[in-house]
A and B are shown apart, each in its own frame.
Chain A
Amino acid sequence: MPAAWLTLACIIATMSEASSVGVVTPQTAHFSEPLALKSGAVLPAYDLVYETYGTLNAARSNAILVCHALSGTHHVAGKYSEDDKYPGWWDNIVGRGRPLDTDKFFIIGVNNLGGCHGSTGPASIDPATNQPWGSRFPVVTVEDWVAAQARLADKLGIQTFAAVMGGSLGGMQALQWTLSFPDRVRHALVIAAAPNLTAQNIAFNEVARQAIITDPEFHGGDFYAQNAIPRRGLRLARMLGHITYLSDDAMGEKFGRKLKHDTVKYSFDVEFEMESYLRYQGDKFAGEFDANTYLRMTRALDYYDPAAPYGGDLSAALKTAKAQFLVVSFTSDWRFSPARSREIVKALLENERTVSYAELTAAHGHDAFLMPDPQYHAIVNAYMQRVARETV
């Protein structure tokens, strides 16, 4: 390759690297004040692990909280080392010149309570017993997460977030922020979310939980002491989840009926590429995720229903919200369908809140919220520029 081309390639590589946040390091905040949970249980003390990108301005007005979904973490963007194979789960949206521009915003990702990536969760040691919490770790809710996130904001000196955002279960947290702390969030970006789960969604979650709970290695949730991991259950739960996060079309396009080998073997080994993909995803997940966390994350989804105390009247429930909203859905998302996002929009309209709604044509199903679709990112980018203009 001629030297000029090589130089050009290096420049391009550097430019694309410049828009990523680069190498990041997680931090841990300890909270010794007990947290009263929605269930009535009390968590005496806990840790939250988090990452930040960008710089908090002098007025402390440019902070954005990114809430994660079921299997997400605090590692939203960047890498842990230069040769880290995969960046954070929403890396494509965070960085210089990206929709969540680190030149303008101070972005926070936090692992939720009950998680398994550093924040206090079922695998953590309960100081009272010196044993892992296991089955005794309380059931946490979206409201509890928001309360814990608010304490982290207190600790970081952030009174009001410029925006709180998230997709799926993360979108539910963004919505809940506007209800739990209406004066502490100026904008909420609620993406691929719903005001509650449908019966079908609860059903999927229940199958996933049953896969875990009936795994002999689960030991009622206290598998840590047995040196066991309910891999089979976690694997099945993840495989099922994956099917529902993709659309039929996306699966058809990616895998179709493609065979793993040249000919079929008339066996129950992997015959189709689709099976191979699901098994790979299931195995990967079972090796890194905690079964008790999975149960609690799905339960938090099931329980979330801000309209319930208002007899199902979402409009009445959202009356307390003061934030401005961007609601986004994806046409092929059948797990959190556009119709569910429209319910949120309708309730906000009825309360005359500032709200915009984009219904994006996308093939990727529920997972579309993680994809760098040009129209999607243009919408979020335009909205965030508006947020930035108000922030200075």
Chain B
Amino acid sequence: MSQQFSQAVLERSDFAVIARWIKPKTKVLDLGCGDGALLGYLRDTLQVSGYGIENDDANVLACIKNGINVVQMNLEDGLSGFEAQSFDVVILSQTLQAVYQTERIVQEMLRVGKEVIVTFPNFAYWKHRLHILGGNMPVSDDLPHQWYNTPNVHMCTIHDFDEFCASHGIRISERLVMTNGNKISWLPNLLGSLAMYRFEPR
């Protein structure tokens, strides 16, 4: 099983970074956990006590097959079942853009988690800009869907998200931008395809 989750981390460059940001043996909640690959990796490498939230039947089944603790619920309903500050870390990994009630979810994460990690595909990545200049919605490795079948409803850029954090009183403790697994420091909003944020605890 370990091998299976190590494989997943190679395919998702944000997983390794998230793992670096998490202390061993902490209690972690992964919102929109998919088949549980990240939680499996964190459990095997850091012995975290991990729980995933997932709404999709096939993903819930995959989590149970993979031995991942999963709670089937719709993120849009909020996290009312969870006490304030009941998790060491709450993760929203490449799910932000698919959430309708973005403000509510982020506030809920800050309520439930002592620490919050958010990652999302940067809509302003140069390749995406080229698509738009060419007159089409972007389709790429990070945004594999067509406009008509994408689950993404709230795409944003790194600039947008920085402004969102500022206007909502969210203090960013660390921001990392990556493309193909490499860190991007120069012109991140243009050259970075994936944005990763750590919020300061409240």
- Which one, B27, B69, B72, contacts A359 given CB within 8 A? B72
Check A378 against B70 for contact (C-beta < 8 Å): no
**Does B63 belong to the interface (CB within 8 Å)?**
yes
B-chain residues with CB within 8 Å of residue A375 when the two chains form the complex: 57, 61
Most buried by B among A356, A359, A360: A356
Q: Are A352 and B60 in contact (CB under 8 A)?
A: no
Contacts A383-B64, A386-B64, A386-B67; A358 near B72 (Cβ below 8 A): yes
Residues of chain A within 8 A of B57, CB atoms compared: 360-361, 375
* B72 & A355 in contact (Cβ 8 Å cutoff): no
* A360: B residues at CB distance < 8 A: 57
Q: Which of B80-88, B147-155, B192-200 contacts A (4 or more CB under 8 A)?
A: B80-88
Q: With a CB–CB cut-off of 8 A, which chain A residues contact B86? A: 349-350
Say yes or no: is B123 at the interface (Cβ < 8 Å to chain A): no
As a 0/1 sequence over residues 135 to 174 of chain B, the CB contacts with chain A under 8 angstroms (1 = contact) are 0000000000000000000000000000000000000000
Task: Scan residues 313-359 of chain A and give those whose CB is less than 8 A from a CB of chain B.
Answer: 326, 342, 345-346, 349-350, 352, 354-359
* Chain A residue contacts of B60, Cβ below 8 A: 356, 358, 379
Which chain B residue has the least Cβ–Cβ distance from A343?
B81
Given contacts A350-B83, A350-B86, contact A345 B61 (CB under 8 A): no
Bound Cα distance from A385 to B61, whole angstroms: 12
Q: How far is the CA of A235 from the CA of B51 in the complex (A)?
A: 46
- How far is it, in angstroms, between the C-alpha of A367 and the C-alpha of B49 when the chains are bound? 34
Q: Which of B20-58 contact A (CB under 8 A)?
A: 27, 49, 51, 57
Is A18 an interface position by the 8 A CB rule?
no
Choose one: A326, A345, A383; the contact of B81 (CB below 8 Å).
A345
Check A354/B69 contact, CB under 8 A, given A346-B82, A349-B82.
Answer: yes
Contacts of B71 in A (CB 8 A): 345, 349, 355-357
Q: How far is the CB of B39 from chain A (nearest CB, A)?
A: 12
Judged by a CB distance under 8 angstroms, whether A250 is at the interface is: no
Check A357 against B61 for contact (C-beta < 8 Å): no
| A379 in contact with B69 given A345-B81, A352-B49 (CB within 8 Å) | no
Minimum CB–CB distance from B152 to chain A (whole Å) comes to 24
A357, B65: Cα distance in complex, Å: 13
CB <8 Å contact, B82 and A379: no
| Interface status of B73 (Cβ within 8 A of chain A) | yes
Is A382 interfacial (CB-CB < 8 Å)? yes
Residue of B49, B61, B69 contacting most chain A CB atoms (<10 Å) = B69
Q: A379 — which chain B residues lie within 8 A by C-beta?
A: 60-61, 64
Q: Tell me, in angstroms, the Cα distance from A360 to B73 when the chains sit together.
A: 10
Provide the residues of chain A in CB contact with B83, threshold 8 Å: 350
B76 to chain A, nearest CB (A): 14
Question: Which of chain A's residues have a CB closer than 8 A to the CB of B51?
Answer: 349, 355
The answer to whether A358 and B81 touch across the interface, beta carbons within 8 angstroms, is no
- Expressed in whole angstroms, the minimum distance between the Cβ of B79 and any Cβ of chain A is 10
Bound Cα distance A383, B68 (Å): 10
Closest to B83 in A: A350
B64 and A326: CB pair below 8 A?
yes
Residues of A within 8 A of B68 (CB): 356
Nearest B residue to A383 by beta-carbon distance? B64
Rounded to whole angstroms, the CA-CA distance of A375 and B71 in the bound complex is 15
Q: Is the CB of B72 within 8 A of A357?
A: yes
- The contact sample of 15 A-B pairs, CB cut-off 8 A, is A345-B81, A349-B82, A350-B86, A352-B27, A355-B69, A355-B71, A356-B60, A356-B64, A356-B70, A357-B71, A357-B72, A357-B73, A358-B72, A359-B72, A361-B57
